[in-house]
Amino acid sequence: MIIGIDLGTTFSAIAMVRDGLPVLIAHADERIMPSVVGLTAQGALVVGTPARNQYVFAPEQTIRSIKRQMGQETRVALGEQTYTPADISALILRELKRRIEAHVGQPVDRVVITVPAYFSDAARQATREAGELAGFVVERIINEPTAAALAYGLDQRAEQQLVAVYDLGGGTFDVSIIELDAGVIEVRASHGNTQLGGDDFDQRLAEYLAVGFEADHGVDPRSDIRAWARLLRAAEHAKIALSSQPFVQVREEYLVSQAGAPLHLDREISRAEFEGLIADLVEGTLESFDAALNDAGLNVEALDRIIFVGGSTRIPLVWQMVADHTGIEPETEINPDEAVALGAAIQAAIIAGEPLDTILVDVTPHSLGMEIANWEFGHLVPDCYSVIIPRNTTIPTTRSEVYSAITPDQTAIAIKIYQGEHPVASQNMLLGEFLIDHLRPEVAGQPPRVTVQFDFDINGILHVAAVDRGSGKECRISVKAAHAQLTPADIAHNRAALDALELEGGDDASAGAGPVNLEAQGLLARARRALINSQSDQTALAEAIATLEVALRHGDHDAIETNVESLIDLIYDLEDE
């Protein structure tokens, strides 16, 4: 038996092939383990989550991101001793070895370990040495983008392909252009930023929370190490929540005290606010993307696909910006923080000569959404379809969106749940419906708003919950929806076929709200509210809303962008009144 290990900068994972199928090996509730090593106050060695938790309180007793130093002639201090980067990585690998041995109930010695494509020979050598120090026979060191391509089964395709692997993790960003031809995988170019990742997003959000807190209470939580640690952790949780919902409530009781009185943090953050905080960082990854293409001597048109790797690619803005920039829908079906380990396990099985099936992923074969009414040319058009879970999303998944009632005195909203791709809701398959009533506006004089959450579980049951943001009242229903087990290749094939169909379909093209259009959808909701609340004549606004809706329905990116801008101007003018 040979296992695969993704030895990551912030998180590591183990996978193996069992009965021909690559599977990730979880330990207790953890699918991935923080790549952090620490010494407790009592002098005990800790690896993984306990070490990660103690970092902010005891940074001198904790080592993280050791991967950045692999291959360098340096020593890091931990307690009284100093260690090489390979020694520290060996401690992480040893813990992973212990976990997999506990899982399979026998010794496991042989391993394939992944490294970034840009790693130097010295860094590769240090990784090999770390594996040996941990007691492994290192069968092979392979590149992370190569492993990701293996997880997607790309080596099994006959035709030549050019693929970009976009990997945005916790502490690093890499993009590699790889070429596949008759099962041979070659990295043509690689680019990135070794100091950019999810940690920076947490930092930005924590700073933002701290500044707001200081403005409210006159105390800067950054000056208290304990408070800052809690803010960073709260920021990461909020960030993760915002990948699947439009708002998150950040609550930290007793964050700091002032003159003996406890001060609490309790504030709502919207996805749009968070996106504003990180947009420039994501923008920077696009420059690296172009640089990698350039190094490979390619235009974006030459690319066949983009695959997403790294936990931070779950952020919808990242998907949206890459899709907008390249015109290609990035593929995300295999869990982005697990794809590299799964690919390493596939490489291991190939070396061991084990029979191997392609990875199957559970996906939603159809989009799931609900009926809404839209403004068009100043008229309310019912029976529009708003997609909440786009087709080909890996399940289980949770997504939610906020919808506004039409008028301030509206007290009920009918939730009609559909499955399908047609922009006219009733042309899709009706899965169920319910009414949420006794709605109360959050702000007097504004229409009430309802958060609708879709939870699609692994058994193919869709749980839908609607919560009135004003009263907190909740209604829920569970319905059966289609789900399918497909290989990533099948999914790509289906997607291409559907895209072609939609192009032929002409006017009704690009059904519903893909993540690309979410910003525009959010803006539309705001514009509609402004329209309803305005006392004066708003013909220009009504027309701008209608034009943007048409652009969205036609999936015309340029028109969407221009119209979003003019709509923003109009709303600002109106809100300034």
Write out the catalytic residue numbers. 6, 67, 144, 167
DSSP for residue 367 = -
Binding site partner of 197, from Mg ion, ligand ADP, none, Cβ cut-off 5-8 A by kind: ligand ADP
When binding is defined by CB under 5 A, the residue of 4, 8, 192, 423 that contacts Mg ion is: 8
Q: Is 198 in the site for Mg ion (CB under 5 A)?
A: no
To the nearest whole angstrom, how small is the minimum distance from the Cβ of residue 55 to ligand ADP?
13
To the nearest whole angstrom, how small is the minimum distance from the Cβ of residue 338 to ligand ADP?
9
Binding site partner of 10, from Mg ion, ligand ADP, none, Cβ cut-off 5-8 A by kind: ligand ADP
| Contact between 98 and 126 (Cβ < 8 Å) | no
Binding site partner of 240, from Mg ion, ligand ADP, none, Cβ cut-off 5-8 A by kind: ligand ADP
To the nearest whole angstrom, how small is the minimum distance from the Cβ of residue 346 to Mg ion?
16
Distance from C-alpha of 385 to C-alpha of 373, rounded to nearest angstrom = 8
Handedness of CA 383, 386, 392, 397 (dihedral sign): negative
Taking each helix axis as running N to C, give the angle between helix 271-295 and helix 225-242, from 0 to 180 degrees, rounded to the nearest 10.
80
Report the residue number, 308 or 375, with the smaller CB distance to ligand ADP. 308
CB under 8 Å, gap of 24 or more: what pairs does 490-495 form? 491/331, 491/333, 491/361, 491/363, 491/392, 492/305, 492/331, 494/365, 494/392, 495/329, 495/392
Q: Is 169 in the site for Mg ion (CB under 5 A)?
A: yes
Report the residue number, 84 or 335, with the smaller CB distance to ligand ADP. 335
To the nearest whole angstrom, how small is the minimum distance from the Cβ of residue 364 to ligand ADP?
17
**Which residues contact ligand ADP (rule: CB under 6 A)?**
8-11, 32, 169-172, 197-199, 236, 239-240, 243, 310-312, 314-315, 337
To the nearest whole angstrom, how small is the minimum distance from the Cβ of residue 257 to ligand ADP?
29
Q: How many CB atoms are closer than 10 A to CB 319?
A: 22
Binding site partner of 470, from Mg ion, ligand ADP, none, Cβ cut-off 5-8 A by kind: none
Report the residue number, 179 or 199, with the smaller CB distance to ligand ADP. 199
Buried b (16+ CB within 10 A) or exposed e, 529-551: bbbbeeeeebeebbebbbbbbbb
| Cα-based distances in Å from 213 to 40, 206, 208, 247, 412 | 31, 10, 9, 18, 36
Report the residue number, 331 or 337, with the smaller CB distance to ligand ADP. 337
Report the residue number, 71 or 470, with the smaller CB distance to ligand ADP. 71
Q: Segment near Mg ion (CB under 5 A), from 166-174, 216-224, 300-308, 327-335?
A: 166-174
Q: Where are the beta strands (DSSP E) in 30-172?
A: 33-34, 37-39, 45-47, 62-63, 76-78, 81-83, 110-115, 137-143, 161-168
State the residue number with the nearest CB to Mg ion.
8
To the nearest whole angstrom, how small is the minimum distance from the Cβ of residue 239 to Mg ion?
17
Question: For every residue of 299-332, which 3-state class applies, written as one string?
Answer: CHHHCCEEEEECHHHHCHHHHHHHHHHHCCCCEC
Binding site partner of 239, from ligand ADP, Mg ion, none, Cβ cut-off 5-8 A by kind: ligand ADP
To the nearest whole angstrom, how small is the minimum distance from the Cβ of residue 147 to ligand ADP?
12
Residue whose tokens read 């015309």: 556
Report the residue number, 343 or 514, with the smaller CB distance to Mg ion. 343
Distance from C-alpha of 127 to C-alpha of 186, rounded to nearest angstrom = 21
Report the residue number, 85 or 169, with the smaller CB distance to Mg ion. 169
380: left (phi over 0), alpha (psi -120 to 50) or beta: beta
Report the residue number, 174 or 421, with the smaller CB distance to ligand ADP. 174
Report the residue number, 170 or 420, with the smaller CB distance to ligand ADP. 170
To the nearest whole angstrom, how small is the minimum distance from the Cβ of residue 169 to Mg ion?
4
Please classify residue 121 by burial: count the beta carbons closer than 10 Å to its beta carbon, then call 0-12 exposed, 13-18 middle and 19+ buried.
exposed
Distance from C-alpha of 397 to C-alpha of 333, rounded to nearest angstrom = 11
Q: Where are the beta strands (DSSP E) in 288-428?
A: 305-309, 361-363, 368-376, 379-389, 397-404, 413-419
Distance from C-alpha of 122 to C-alpha of 72, rounded to nearest angstrom = 8
Binding site partner of 171, from Mg ion, ligand ADP, none, Cβ cut-off 5-8 A by kind: ligand ADP
Distance from C-alpha of 213 to C-alpha of 197, rounded to nearest angstrom = 25
To the nearest whole angstrom, how small is the minimum distance from the Cβ of residue 152 to ligand ADP?
16
Binding site partner of 315, from ligand ADP, Mg ion, none, Cβ cut-off 5-8 A by kind: ligand ADP
Binding site partner of 252, from Mg ion, ligand ADP, none, Cβ cut-off 5-8 A by kind: none
| Contact between 560 and 520 (Cβ < 8 Å) | yes
Q: Segment near Mg ion (CB under 5 A), from 1-9, 126-134, 198-206, 326-334?
A: 1-9
Binding site partner of 32, from ligand ADP, Mg ion, none, Cβ cut-off 5-8 A by kind: ligand ADP
Question: Residue 82: helix, strand or coil by DSSP?
Answer: strand
Site residues (vs Mg ion, CB under 5 A): 8, 169
